[in-house]
Amino acid sequence: MKIYLYILVMAVTTYLIRAVPLTLMKKPIQNRFLKSFLHYVPAACLTAMTFPAILYATDHMVSGAVGFAVAVFLALRKKSLIVVAVAACAAVFVTEQLIKFL
Amino acid sequence: MKMKEFMTGMKAGLPVCVGYFSVSFGFGAMAVAQGLTIWQAILISASNLTSAGQFAGLTVIAAGAAMLEMILTQLVINSRYALMSLAIGQRLGPTVGTGKRLIAAFFNTDEVFALGMSRGKELTTTFFVGAGISAAIGWTAGTAMGAVAGSLLPQSVRMALGVMLYGMFIAIVVPQAKEEKTILYSVIFALLFSCLFAWVPGLNQVSGGLAIVICTVAAAALCAVLFPVEEEVAAE
């Protein structure tokens, strides 16, 4: 039974983290620093999550690096989300297979 | 019109749905391996909708640790959602009511957040929830499949699928950075800090979730000081 209590505590904590800032801060922020800060949060956060984590997501760092390079290359050419994502996976898979043969 | 907006959101969330499926597949398999039932694994994914947070939660459950540790782990690893929720709340504007916000909040994940922000001024809670439901379906269904099938897929395929989410992050960030020079600087700063936390002895002891928060706050604050946005840009 205790396992359900864990799950409940986990879910409620996570929900509150998401809900409190979204609900209680409705009025537009006037502070220019805070506005600018929030403008830069999304790209900074996604970047910090992606690199260097992608290098450790595969069996060999090389394949992660290849997947990263392929994704950046295609994203620079404005390919769609799914094309970039699938190409990165394919690049990782092919590189890992190649490493096995070397 | 509302239905159309909702469907637009669900469609936008499709790549997230696919990406989540592969990651949560791993979560499902791992949860069952740790002694949870299939339904418990599904319940965790359906009620949490986080990746790193759930993986960490599984460790806490398996260790039979104190509830306080569960709370702290989730607070630290998921704290980035507070920043994201704050940004979404600001983007929605003061006209959007509390009820809609309470519903939208549940679906705020890294990828759904990115989809929402990429919509600019047009962002509505209807679109956000549509995208979120797509994501939640992929996440929960993937967990179910993973829990049932265990390690049916060859490891090489599962590992390759593991970079799918990173690929999506890159597809979101790179065009923005290409378009706007100041965004590019925020990306470079975040990249630099993130590498420091990964590779500098001492700093690399900081947990992954907390490191992401520190890197994000530091890079965004630095850019806010160096390149404060114009009033009309900030209002977007």
In B, minimum Cα distance to A89 occurs at B160
CB atoms within 10 A of CB B153: 17
pTM for this prediction: 0.70
**Does a structural domain hold residue A5?**
no
R_g (Cα) of chain B, nearest Å: 19
**Does a structural domain hold residue A56?**
yes
For an interface test with A, the pick among B72, B84, B166 (most A C-beta atoms closer than 10 Å) comes out as B166
Q: Do B172 and A19 touch (CB under 8 A)?
A: no
* Rounded CA separation A72/A66 (Å): 10
Of A20, A29, A32, the CB nearest to B228: A32
pLDDT < 50 stretches in chain B: 233-236
ipTM higher than threshold 0.95: no
The string of pLDDT tens digits covering residues A36-95 is 887 888 788 889 888 998 998 888 999 999 999 999 999 999 998 778 988 998 999 999
**Does a structural domain hold residue A9?**
no
**Does a structural domain hold residue A41?**
yes
- Domain assignment of residue A79, given as a range: 30-101
Torsion over CA: B119, B120, B126, B132 (sign)? positive
Closest-CA residue to B67 (of A21, A4, A20): A4
**Does a structural domain hold residue A60?**
yes
The string of pLDDT tens digits covering residues B146-192 is 888 765 667 787 677 778 778 878 988 999 999 999 999 999 999 99
- DSSP, residue by residue, A9-66: HHHHHHHHHHHHHHHH--SPP--HHHHHHHHHHHHHHHHHHHTTGGGGSSSSHHHHHH
R_g (Cα) of chain A, nearest Å: 20
Question: What is the average pLDDT score of chain B?
Answer: 86
pLDDT at A5: 95
Domains identified in chain A, total number: 1
pLDDT at B153: 67
**Does a structural domain hold residue A40?**
yes
Torsion over CA: B84, B87, B92, B97 (sign)? positive
Residue B5, judged by CB atoms within 10 A of its CB (0-12, 13-18, 19+), counts as middle
Of A10, A92, A93, the CB nearest to B70: A10
Q: Which residues of B touch A30 (CB under 8 A)?
A: none
